[in-house]
Amino acid sequence: MLSIIQAAGWPIWPLIFCSFLALAVVMERLFSLSTRRIAPPKLLVEALRVSHSSVPGAEVIDQLAQNSALGEVLASGLRTLRVNPRCKEDDLRATMEGAGREVAHRMERYLSALATIASAAPLLGLLGTVIGMIEIFGSQSPATGAGGANPAQLAHGISVALYNTAFGLMVAIPSLIFWRYFRTRVDAYLLTLELAADQFVRHLNGLRASS
């Protein structure tokens, strides 16, 4: 591996940095966007059960908020109803929509960085290719005549051009794949949260009317 880096020259170092950064983002997002941390399957049913007849206590609401992103959205509605039992349905919706926007912002964190790496890596590889081509043209040796060339410098220029092109694509392709995967996953989560919040608002509105 070290020999490849040496053959690729200094233009490969920005690509190596991008590869480590992309790997860190992918690992962090895989952990943060797990179903358990965003929208556990049975959480809505459990929230409806504990608030079936009345608004639960503050401790239960805090536990719900700490459970997951969905729990945070549902808990925001319960807190609003607990503070103001006569609040309007529009107020409940506005509160839960605000919590949903905060959750959506956290879910989309670092995705723009991953998209930037996917776009920039091929350009960095192209930069290395251009630098390698410059070294190839610079390998012409005046001492050997117009058609002569320095073989070592020529080989190094070719290595720089090819290795950087390949490494740029090796960084860009997985970054693009994971960006699209995370983007689709976030969109699916947002739909799940929206549907759950809408159902929970109707439940809270009925709870408010009966209190």
Q: Going from the first residue of the chain to its last (211 residues), give the mean pLDDT of each consecutive group of 10, the final group possibly shorter.
A: 67 90 96 95 93 89 94 94 87 93 95 95 89 74 54 74 88 96 96 95 82 59
Res 144: pLDDT: 47
CA-based nearest residue to 207, from 93, 87, 42: 87
Question: How many domains does one find in the chain?
Answer: 1
Which residue matches tokens 């005046």? 142
Neighbours of 146 (CB within 10 A): 7
Dihedral, 91, 95, 96, 97 alpha carbons, nearest 10: 100
Q: Residue written as tokens 């965003």?
A: 38
Buried b (16+ CB within 10 A) or exposed e, 52-86: eeebbeeeebeebbebbbbbbbbbbbbbbbbeeee
pLDDT, residue 187, reads 96
Could you tell me the residue range of the domain that residue 206 belongs to?
2-210
pLDDT, position 206:
83
Dihedral sign, Cα of residue 152, residue 154, residue 160, residue 166: negative
Distance CA 48, CA 100 (A): 18
